[in-house]
Amino acid sequence: MNRVAVVGFGSTQFTRSDAPRIDYLLLDAATDLCNNMPSLSRSEIEAVLVSTNDDSKYLASILSELAGISPRVSQSIESMCGSGTSAIVTGVSYIAAGLADTVLVAGADSVDGPGRILDWDVSRGQFAHPVFWASLFTKSYKHKFNIADEELAAVPAKNHRNAAKNPRACSTVKPAIRDVLESRVITGDLRLFDCSRPCTGSSALILASEQMARELTDRPVWITGVGQKTTSAGFTKNRDLTKIDSTIQAGREAFAMASRSPEEVDVVELHDAFSVFEPLALEGLGLAPAGGGARMSASLYENEDNSVNPRGGLIGAGHPLGTTGVAQAGEIFLQIRGNAGKRQVKDASVGIVHNVSAAATSSTVLVMES
């Protein structure tokens, strides 16, 4: 496969405010990206890929028009919460196939936008909201591995604390473990701080072929591994709620493609839609043993180690669905370049992006490195 790099990143603030227009939201992220990347001429952008759950049509062409780009390829890509990395992998494939050299991937969603509930999955009955499947995962995981509430509560405590160093994060709080445990009851298994929350935000990045990457920057960040897997579309088809099969398979594939092992990973952006998904992802990616993910998160919290979800994860940064995967990859890009400011993870040179959809029925894993 031809080598593909991330060479630039831009983003809006993530907020709980409604976005009156999704096209202007996309434009704001693309404009921030262009401002961060004076070496990039808009005429060099050959493909514009928009990841979103918004119902607007032709958004990639509209963003192109607004941003003064005249691309060959323009299209929207949707796979619910995993739209962002789905669009990134599409961009990688266009470049690897030789169909484009420079690709803009821009994600955007609004706090009140569609895609937050999978109406199709009627097996959930009246329990359609994601908090219900997250509850079942939480109950199963805690029961099987005898996990204490305090350990899981370290996930939001850590990720809100990390978010406090991310000026674009949605979070404005820094709860201690006790605050998490005493926050409002959402279900029998989840408290308010266990939940990521929809928000409004847009992030954009530039992917480039090796030749174009060398022209645009002296510090490209290569996407060396790509793994994807959809195991089902129905939550209730997951037979074992103490692991994420789609993540296990996607992770294995991504590490194999990159010829990397979990031990070599310095920094991770993973899909903590709810507290329990951080340990489940750590275990699925091979970064912690089965049942050991919660202890790992708690230990990271105690040691003030921000190498997992340095931008605050979905819980701290907010979760603007189609934006999330793009923002995650942007964070790993900044970390590996050494441009992550106050939240810089020391000597980060190999990073992982982990993004899932719809009750973790599908996963995408990317390996990125300097």
Q: Which residues bind a second copy (CB under 8 A)?
A: 1-2, 23, 48, 53, 55-58, 60-62, 64-65, 70-80, 83, 86, 89-90, 92-99, 114-115, 118-120, 226-234, 237, 250, 253, 357-358, 361-362
**Tokens standing for 121?**
């999955």
Question: Measured at the alpha carbon of residue 25, what is the angle toward residues 77 and 95, in degrees to the nearest 5?
Answer: 40
Q: How far is the CB of 18 from a second copy (least distance, A)?
A: 18
Q: How far is the CB of 80 from a second copy (least distance, A)?
A: 5
Between 84 and 316, whose beta carbon lies closer to a second copy?
A: 84
Q: How far is the CB of 72 from a second copy (least distance, A)?
A: 5
Between 59 and 157, whose beta carbon lies closer to a second copy?
A: 59
| Under 8 Å between Cβ of 362 and 246 | yes
- With a CB cutoff of 8 Å and minimum separation 6, the contacts of 339 are none
| Under 8 Å between Cβ of 262 and 285 | yes
d(CA 308, CA 313): 8
**Tokens standing for 19?**
């976005």
Q: How far is the CB of 98 from a second copy (least distance, A)?
A: 5
Q: How far is the CB of 229 from a second copy (least distance, A)?
A: 5
Span between the terminal Cα atoms of the chain, in Å: 17
Between 119 and 263, whose beta carbon lies closer to a second copy?
A: 119
Between 96 and 352, whose beta carbon lies closer to a second copy?
A: 96
Q: How far is the CB of 358 from a second copy (least distance, A)?
A: 5
d(CA 265, CA 181): 31
Q: Cβ–Cβ contacts within 10 Å for residue 252, how many?
A: 16
Between 307 and 357, whose beta carbon lies closer to a second copy?
A: 357
Closest CA to 206 of 14, 29, 2, 24: 29
Closest CA to 11 of 112, 76, 107, 114: 107
d(CA 133, CA 318): 19
306 by DSSP, 3-state: which?
coil
Between 60 and 336, whose beta carbon lies closer to a second copy?
A: 60
| Under 8 Å between Cβ of 247 and 360 | yes
d(CA 292, CA 111): 33
Between 96 and 345, whose beta carbon lies closer to a second copy?
A: 96
Q: How far is the CB of 173 from a second copy (least distance, A)?
A: 30
Q: How far is the CB of 310 from a second copy (least distance, A)?
A: 27
d(CA 22, CA 114): 12
Q: How far is the CB of 82 from a second copy (least distance, A)?
A: 8
Between 47 and 157, whose beta carbon lies closer to a second copy?
A: 47
Closest CA to 100 of 224, 218, 4: 4
Between 62 and 334, whose beta carbon lies closer to a second copy?
A: 62
Phi-psi region of 330 (alpha: psi -120 to 50; beta: other; left: phi over 0): alpha
H or E element that contains 228 = strand 221-230
